[in-house]
Structure 1
Amino acid sequence: MRANKLVAVVAFCFLAVFLAYGLWLAYTPKPQTLQGQIEAREYNVSSKVPGRVEQVMVRTGDKVDQGDLLFAISSPELDAKLMQAEGGRDAAKALQTEAQNGARQQEITAAQEQWRKAQAAAKLMEKTYQRVENLFSEGVVARQKRDEAYTQWQAAKYTEQAALAMYQMAQEGARVETKAAAAGNARMAEGAVKEVSAILADSQMRSPISAEVSEVLLQAGELAPSGFPVVSLIDMQDAWAILQVREDQLADFKKGQEVTLTIPALNQSHQFVVGHVSVMGHFATWRSTESGHDFDMRTFKVELTPKQPIADLRVGMSVLYQYSVE
Structure 2
Amino acid sequence: MKKAGIIVGAFFVILIAAVSGFLLLNFNRSSQAVSDFSGEPLQITGNVEATETDVNVKIPGRVASINVEEGQEVTAGQTIAVMEAENIEAKSNQVKAVLDLAKVTYNRLSQLYNEGVLPQQKLDMARADLRQAQAGYDEVMSYINDSTVKAPVAGVITSKSVERGEMVSSGMPLVTITNMQDVWVNLKVRESAINQYRVGVKVPVQVIGVPHKIYNGEVTFIAAKPSYATERAIQEKGEKDMVAFQVKIKLDNSDNLLRPGMTAEVNLKP
1:302 is aligned to 2:247: yes
Matches within 5 A, 1:262-273: 262-267=206-211, 268-273=213-218
Q: CA deviation at 1:255?
A: 1.5
Identify the structure with the greater helix proportion.
Answer: 1
Q: Would you say the 8 A contact 1:51–1:73 is kept in 2?
A: yes
CA distance in 2, matches of 1:248, 1:80: 67
Q: Which residue of 2 aligns with 1:319?
A: 264
1:225 is aligned to 2:169: yes
Residue 214 of structure 2 aligns to a residue whose secondary structure is strand
Note the alpha carbon deviations across 1:111-130, whole angstroms, 9 max, x for none: xxxxxxxxxxxxxxxxxxxx
> Unmatched 5+ residue regions in structure 2?
1-27
CA distance in 2, matches of 1:199, 1:30: 58
Q: Structure 2 vs 1, CA of residues 230 and 62 (structure 1 numbering), >3 Å: closer, same or farther? A: same
1:242 is aligned to 2:190: no
Coordinate RMSD, CA, aligned? 2.9
Q: Would you say the 8 A contact 2:46–2:263 is kept in 1?
A: yes
Q: Would you say the 8 A contact 1:214–1:233 is kept in 2?
A: yes
CA distance in 2, matches of 1:218, 1:307: 32
CA distance in 2, matches of 1:285, 1:37: 17
Note the alpha carbon deviations across 1:60-88, whole angstroms, 9 max, x for none: 11111122111101134433443342233
Note the alpha carbon deviations across 1:223-281, whole angstroms, 9 max, x for none: 12111011211101111110111111101221121111101101121111111122444
CA distance in 2, matches of 1:244, 1:216: 30
> Unmatched 5+ residue regions in structure 1?
1-22, 103-168
Matches within 5 A, 1:47-196: 47-102=57-112, 172-196=116-140
Q: Would you say the 8 A contact 1:50–1:75 is kept in 2?
A: no
Q: CA deviation at 1:89?
A: 1.4
Q: Would you say the 8 A contact 1:35–1:243 is kept in 2?
A: yes
CA distance in 1, matches of 2:139, 2:168: 21
Q: Which has the larger radius of gyration?
A: 1
Q: Structure 2 vs 1, CA of residues 86 and 275 (structure 1 numbering), >3 Å: closer, same or farther? A: same
Q: Which residue of 1 aligns with 2:43?
A: 33
Residue 126 of structure 2 aligns to a residue whose secondary structure is helix
Q: Which moved more, 1:35-44 or 1:84-93?
A: 84-93
Note the alpha carbon deviations across 1:115-156, whole angstroms, 9 max, x for none: xxxxxxxxxxxxxxxxxxxxxxxxxxxxxxxxxxxxxxxxxx
Q: Structure 2 vs 1, CA of residues 178 and 63 (structure 1 numbering), >3 Å: closer, same or farther? A: same
Q: Would you say the 8 A contact 1:260–1:271 is kept in 2?
A: yes
Q: Would you say the 8 A contact 1:38–1:241 is kept in 2?
A: yes
Q: Structure 2 vs 1, CA of residues 190 and 99 (structure 1 numbering), >3 Å: closer, same or farther? A: same
Q: Which residue of 2 aligns with 1:261?
A: 205
CA distance in 2, matches of 1:83, 1:30: 71
Residue 298 of structure 1 aligns to a residue whose secondary structure is strand
Residue 172 of structure 1 aligns to a residue whose secondary structure is coil
Q: Structure 2 vs 1, CA of residues 234 and 32 (structure 1 numbering), >3 Å: closer, same or farther? A: same
Q: Would you say the 8 A contact 2:72–2:157 is kept in 1?
A: yes
* Amino-acid identity (%): 25
Q: CA deviation at 1:175?
A: 2.0
Q: TM-score, with normalisation over the residues of structure 1? A: 0.63
Which residue of 231, 248, 252 maps to 2:196?
Answer: 252
Q: Would you say the 8 A contact 2:203–2:267 is kept in 1?
A: no
CA distance in 2, matches of 1:281, 1:294: 19
Q: Which residue of 1 aligns with 2:3?
A: none
Identify the structure with the greater strand proportion.
Answer: 2
Q: TM-score, with normalisation over the residues of structure 2? A: 0.76
